[in-house]
Chain A
Amino acid sequence: MTALVERTETWVQVCRITALLPERGVAALLPDGSQVALFRTYDNEVYAVSNTDPFSEANVLSRGIVGDRGGVAVVASPMYKEAFDLRTGVCVDNPEVSVPVYPVRVVDEWVQVGLR
């Protein structure tokens, strides 16, 4: 994550960490109109990936079920159920497909997403 942080110039504050239920995502609207899906896993890691499900083109990834595949944190798209690695955005079921990941950090209880 450090590499991304260095390239990040602008951080957008999106919500308080308490708005993120463990293993249940939310969506946030970024200033450029793009949408990001935010997740907090059971061990309190926070992840941000694009909210757009590449298979359906609908903005729904934030509504997927969070869990793990072989220990790797994933979200399963609610549309056709493909799972995406929350760290890399790579689709576990079809590694040729991936979703963009965003830098994310928690500062004073606030979740911030880095614009790229």
Chain B
Amino acid sequence: MTATLVVVGHGMVGHRIVQALRDRDTGGRWRVIVLAEEPRPAYDRVALSSYVDSWDPEALALPGNDYAGDDLVELRLGDPAVRIDREARTVVTAGGVEYRYDALVLATGSRPFVPPVPGHDLPGCFVYRTIEDLDAIRAAAERARTSTAPGRRAAMVVGGGLLGLEAANALRGMGFSPNVVELAPRLMPLQVDEGGGALLRRLIERLGLTVHTGTSTESIQRDGDRLLAKLSNGTELDLDLVVFSAGVRPRDELAREAGLEIGPRGGVVVDEGCRTSDEHVYAAGEVACLDGKVYGLVAPGYTMAEVVVDRLLGGGATFPGADTSTKLKLLGVDVASFGDAHAATEGALEVVFNNAVAGSYAKVVVSDDAQVLLGGVLVGDASAYTSLRPMVGRELSVDPALLIAPEGAGVGTGVGVGALPDDAQICSCNAVTKGQITAAITEQECADVPALKACTRAGTTCGSCVPMLRQLLESCGVEQSKAICEHFAHSRAELFEIVQSTGIRTFSELVTRHGQGRGCDICKPAVASILASLGSGHILDGEQAALQDTNDHFLANLQRNGTYSVVPRVPGGEITPEKLIVLGEVARDFGLYTKITGGQRIDLFGARVEQLPAIWKRLVDAGFESGHAYGKALRTVKSCVGTDWCRYGVQDSVTLAIELELRYRGLRSPHKLKAAVSGCARNCAETPTKDFGVIATEKGWNLYVGGNGGFAPRHAELLAADLDTETLVRYIDRFLMFYIRTADRLQRTSAWIESLEGGLDHLREVVVEDSLGIAEELEAAMRRHVENYTDEWADVLGDPEKLARFVSFVNAPDAPDPSIEFVERRGQRIPVGSEERGSQPALIAGPKLEVVNS
């Protein structure tokens, strides 16, 4: 007999309940009905602020949130529950549908608290909790941008807590000068102590936010098109919009009406099994009140979800208590708080390092005998957080001061992961312990971070424990073999170092002195790419020719029947009618199939080897050059139409795209590089899928890095904002050269950034702050590239020796390969398939794709 579970609310916790139940209920005891108020399935609310980078709701979707193909789950979107009848055990939705339940879970989360300030409901006042909230803020931002009212575009965020600061940051990204108003005497009063709060304020003000602490909002009035806010300390603020972020309140209204027990400050009261005062009704997540507490973080909600599921399946799990540690990076400022951050424990002692010059503040709280770590606060540099948090509540083996002693003080910072006991939580979001992770490594043979993520879920929510996962892999002796292939024991980055520092410029010398054997199709193209990046002449010069993959060797792309495709460069996707006509004529005269690529250019297919020079000749004569579609190199810089034509554009995206494409053309790299420039936040050039993407802002350009399409699509992330063109180009120079020098073979920028110790933050330090002191060198390397660029096609046309290689047969230079045949499809020529050739299908193994480590 299948019982019915109704879940009310499809937020982060609601989704986790369904997922965990469907994972564990293999016998199909429960069928699940999910009633969702929001119009879309569950998304990552924790990452809500990143929505402003892409404005793409899909990017926030939680994996598996549509339960596709699962007959036991019915998801009802956009139809909230409005009434519970506990007697009849039914739930009624706003749409009037009634469901009977055997068990009911309330996972309705919370709503933002809006203080009853006069004017709080005027147009221009918003909250910050859902995708729709952000869409509304964006629309208002757009109106403010085009408004003619005088004054700076300004916004006010009511509430200086974690969410308020996040919202302020997002508003800053939209071009507003944000004011943050906080009632308490410091920012983030719940997490940070006075000392940390003072530093946090300084760091944040330095970034252009205005902070008003110890004051409240008295009123908000309409002032023409804008708003006028009055603060209790007398300050008046001219504003375009207001965002309330002054805490949340549990959405317990259904439960109240149904007569369930409610906590003193709201929230549906549940026992340690997450059961409410009605044995058929559970509550989990932000709506639940457990032990008198309501938790505003996702990790305790996930734990409750697991407890509920265990109970539904007849288990006896109880809520073990929650870790309310926080680590975040706001506007590039690290803040972390964990355990008893305010030293509220009786007799607790504090150890503080406050370095006002370096801008870092660290405090640990220990028990009265200094033996047990109780908590701490870190501002400015939170790198010790990942190793300190799991130590909370444990005996210390070292002097507490050493835990936060600054580097260079003669002692190591923090504690090693090896010192942690097996039951220490490494991933607090998903409650994964060190023991579970080491078991996954030793028993289930997880050999890298992605495998650990898939196997244990550790590191999949906020990601702050990923460095610990790496350390655990190492401490379990999992050698992350760096050897590129059997011929070199080195990684690509190490080979790059060797080539650069030794001046070796041939493969033979390199493999003789630093490797073994004669190389293969893995190391040879990798070394060819390194040589090309270091400016070693034409890629077909001398021995280099023998290192190139067939695409680079013929400067064209091999197709499945042995012919090649030809892609001339069309910088920024801008092309004159004359050149378009030439492309058409060349395609017609050589019988080439034509198709428009995703990178805004035109691909000509079906050229035989011996036709390539003649095709290039025609193209080069008409002013075209190689588009490097064949290389692990810069492909295209796609653009929208920009200010020249577009009614909305704010910058000239086409000119910038052309400049960038011409600057980086021919640049060889560990993998292909794609780029785009959008002239406004509408982002028509689809920058989030590019290795580097530029989006115009009112003040300049935002630079995003690390996106890609393909097998495992990734969204690019913001590296730096509001740059002038010169700075932008400098940063891209540095970014690309740093990538070229340090990435693995066939590692796209996304995977490379992920593999960097410190990830995107580290990259930003290197590129923007020049933390390694190599910016000058990287820029110089790029200058050399730009100066030495020549067109690879034209070079071959001017070199009889190279030209001689472009034949199908060495003993019959003019003969075409007789096995290449075409048929017609939709008016163009395509290769004959096996059936059409009339032969037995001789395919012995299916075509394979090279699997790229990501």
Residues of A whose CB lies within 8 Å of any CB of B are: 13-15, 19, 21-24, 26-29, 33, 35, 38, 41-42, 52, 54-60, 63-71, 73-74, 76, 78-81, 83, 94, 96-97
Contact A78 B550 (CB under 8 A): yes
Tell me which residues across on chain B come within 8 A of A22, comparing CB atoms. 543, 546
Contact B508 A65 (CB under 8 A): no
Contact A79 B521 (CB under 8 A): no
The listed residue (B523, B560, B811) touching A58 by CB distance below 8 A is B560
- How far, in whole Å, are A59 and B561 apart by their CA atoms in the complex? 8
- How far, in whole Å, are A70 and B520 apart by their CA atoms in the complex? 10
The listed residue (B520, B523, B810) touching A15 by CB distance below 8 A is B810
Known: A64-B550, A68-B519. A96 touches B562 (CB 8 A): no
- How far, in whole Å, are A64 and B547 apart by their CA atoms in the complex? 10
- How far, in whole Å, are A23 and B521 apart by their CA atoms in the complex? 11
Tell me which residues across on chain A come within 8 A of B554, comparing CB atoms. 63
The listed residue (B521, B525, B811) touching A14 by CB distance below 8 A is B811
Contact A57 B809 (CB under 8 A): no
Contact B561 A55 (CB under 8 A): no
B808 sits at the interface (CB 8 A) = yes
Q: Show 24 residue pairs from A and B whose CB-CB distance is below 8 angstroms, ordered by the A residue.
A: A24-B553, A26-B810, A27-B809, A28-B811, A29-B809, A54-B842, A56-B562, A57-B842, A57-B843, A58-B819, A59-B817, A60-B562, A63-B550, A65-B546, A66-B546, A68-B517, A68-B518, A69-B520, A73-B518, A76-B520, A79-B560, A80-B847, A81-B848, A83-B521
Contact A65 B811 (CB under 8 A): no
Contact B518 A65 (CB under 8 A): no
Identity of the chain B residue whose Cβ is nearest the Cβ of A33 in the assembled complex: B818
The B interface, classified by DSSP as helix, strand, loop or mixed, is loop
Known: A42-B508, A60-B550, A69-B486. A14 touches B810 (CB 8 A): yes
- How far, in whole Å, are A28 and B815 apart by their CA atoms in the complex? 10
Contact A15 B811 (CB under 8 A): yes
Tell me which residues across on chain A come within 8 A of B518, comparing CB atoms. 23, 41-42, 66-68, 73
Query: Which B residues from 533 to 550 make CB contacts under 8 A with A?
Result: 543, 545-550
B345 sits at the interface (CB 8 A) = no
Tell me which residues across on chain A come within 8 A of B553, comparing CB atoms. 24, 63
- How far, in whole Å, are A22 and B543 apart by their CA atoms in the complex? 8
Identity of the chain A residue whose Cβ is nearest the Cβ of B524 in the assembled complex: A65
Contact A21 B560 (CB under 8 A): no
The listed residue (A24, A42, A58) touching B561 by CB distance below 8 A is A58
Known: A29-B808, A67-B524, A94-B845. 6 other contacts (CB 8 A): A14-B811, A57-B839, A58-B562, A65-B521, A66-B546, A69-B486
Tell me which residues across on chain A come within 8 A of B810, comparing CB atoms. 14-15, 19, 26-28, 38
B812 sits at the interface (CB 8 A) = yes
Interface size class of B (residues with CB under 8 A): 35 or more
B23 sits at the interface (CB 8 A) = no
Nearest Cβ in chain B — how far from A101, in angstroms?
A: 18
B558 sits at the interface (CB 8 A) = yes
Contact B844 A97 (CB under 8 A): yes
Identity of the chain B residue whose Cβ is nearest the Cβ of A28 in the assembled complex: B811
B500 sits at the interface (CB 8 A) = no
B399 sits at the interface (CB 8 A) = no
- How far, in whole Å, are A69 and B522 apart by their CA atoms in the complex? 11
Tell me which residues across on chain B come within 8 A of A73, comparing CB atoms. 518
Nearest Cβ in chain B — how far from A33, in angstroms?
A: 7
B834 sits at the interface (CB 8 A) = yes
Tell me which residues across on chain B come within 8 A of A26, comparing CB atoms. 809-810
Interface centre among A38, A52, A68 (most CB of B within 10 A): A68
Tell me which residues across on chain B come within 8 A of A76, comparing CB atoms. 520-521
Interface 1/0 per residue, B806-824 and A, CB below 8 Å: 0011111001011110000
Identity of the chain B residue whose Cβ is nearest the Cβ of A80 in the assembled complex: B848
Nearest Cβ in chain A — how far from B542, in angstroms?
A: 9
Identity of the chain A residue whose Cβ is nearest the Cβ of B550 in the assembled complex: A78
- How far, in whole Å, are A27 and B549 apart by their CA atoms in the complex? 16
Interface 1/0 per residue, B821-854 and A, CB below 8 Å: 0000000000000100001001111011010000
The listed residue (A38, A60, A97) touching B845 by CB distance below 8 A is A97
Identity of the chain A residue whose Cβ is nearest the Cβ of B831 in the assembled complex: A58
Contact B817 A35 (CB under 8 A): yes
- How far, in whole Å, are A87 and B810 apart by their CA atoms in the complex? 21
Contact B812 A29 (CB under 8 A): yes
- How far, in whole Å, are A41 and B519 apart by their CA atoms in the complex? 12
Interface centre among A38, A41, A56 (most CB of B within 10 A): A56
Identity of the chain A residue whose Cβ is nearest the Cβ of B815 in the assembled complex: A29
Nearest Cβ in chain A — how far from B419, in angstroms?
A: 43
Tell me which residues across on chain B come within 8 A of A59, comparing CB atoms. 562, 817, 819-820
Tell me which residues across on chain A come within 8 A of B811, comparing CB atoms. 13-15, 28-29
Nearest Cβ in chain A — how far from B24, in angstroms?
A: 41
Nearest Cβ in chain A — how far from B796, in angstroms?
A: 15
